[in-house]
Structure 1
């Protein structure tokens, strides 16, 4: 059986990140700082050592991956299943606007842990399930097309997507009192040997 190593990262900084707006399935481009940041990640990631790339189908992950792999001709799959958690009616709002429009709703949902569900949006359980399936489907396609026994993949996704996948693999909860396991702008390594597992988390980019 082929073995696969996956470098799992979040997209770089976008205009809505800097404005504090919830993106969900909406999109905004990387800022100039975001593009510079992604270019700097090449030194750590060594993109020439990868065999393929997985991203969501949203522009911010594709743009990040294109910057990191600039000049390389790596196969790249854009997977809708790797999109950010769908924040429904909360998409496009700042936290202040969310509290004003839906008083008390955010705090109530945060307290529900894995069942956190934005209005008309998606809960974390469903986000984890479709994200893990997308990763496994993408890995399977790459395995079919890359003639190597040990394959290395770069996967560029979203904060919510990454948290749900990694927390599911760790059997970790989202309850507010639980320790957070994912640090911002870090590199996480997953393995696939018939099923996904975690190798190590939170390496500096």
Structure 2
């Protein structure tokens, strides 16, 4: 059986990130700083060793992957299942706007842990399930087309989806007060040998 290593990262900085707006399934482009940051990640990720790319189908993830792999021709799959958690009616709002429009709702949902569900959105369990399924399906396609026994994939997704996937693989709780497993803008390595597992977390980019 082929073995696969997955370099799992979040997209770089976007205009809405800087404005503090919830993106969810909405999208905004990378800032100039975001583009420069993604280019600097090449040193750690080593795009010349990448055999294929999986990204969400949202522009910010695709743009990040394209910057990192610029100059290298590799198969790229854009997967809706790797999109950010669907934040429903909360998408596009800042935290202040959310709390003003839906008083007390955010805190109430945060207290539910895995069942956290934005209005008309999806919960973290659903997000984790589709994220893991998308990774496995994408890997399945890649191993059919890349003629190597050991394959290295770059996967670019979103903070909420990555957290849901990694917490699910770790069987970790989302409840307030629990230790935070993931640090911001870090590289995480996953393995696949018929099943996804975690090799290492929080490598500095």
Same fold (TM over 0.5): yes
The answer as to 2:133 corresponding to 1:117 is no
* Partner SS state of residue 27, structure 1: coil
Alignment match, 2:23 = 23
Alignment match, 1:96 = 96
Runs (4+) of structure 1 moved beyond 4 Å? none
Alpha-carbon separation, structure 1, partners of 2:64 and 2:146: 23
Deviation sequence 1:114-165 (CA, Å, 0-9, x none): 0000000000000000000000000000000001100000000000010000
How big is the shift at 1:84?
0.2
Gaps of at least 5 residues in structure 2 are none
How big is the shift at 1:36?
0.2
User: TM-score with structure 1 length normalisation?
Assistant: 1.00
Alignment match, 2:70 = 70
Alignment match, 1:37 = 37
Alignment match, 1:107 = 107
How big is the shift at 1:6?
0.2
Alpha-carbon separation, structure 1, partners of 2:38 and 2:85: 22
Alignment match, 1:85 = 85
Alpha-carbon separation, structure 2, partners of 1:67 and 1:23: 21
Alignment match, 2:197 = 197
Deviation sequence 1:87-138 (CA, Å, 0-9, x none): 0000000000000000000000000000000000000000000000000000
Deviation sequence 1:30-75 (CA, Å, 0-9, x none): 0000000000000111001010000000000000000000011011
Alignment match, 2:46 = 46
User: TM-score with structure 2 length normalisation?
Assistant: 1.00
* Partner SS state of residue 153, structure 2: strand
How big is the shift at 1:194?
0.6
Alpha-carbon separation, structure 2, partners of 1:125 and 1:185: 23
How big is the shift at 1:200?
0.4
Number of corresponding residues: 205
* Partner SS state of residue 184, structure 1: coil
Alpha-carbon separation, structure 2, partners of 1:200 and 1:71: 28
Alignment match, 1:157 = 157
Alpha-carbon separation, structure 2, partners of 1:181 and 1:54: 23
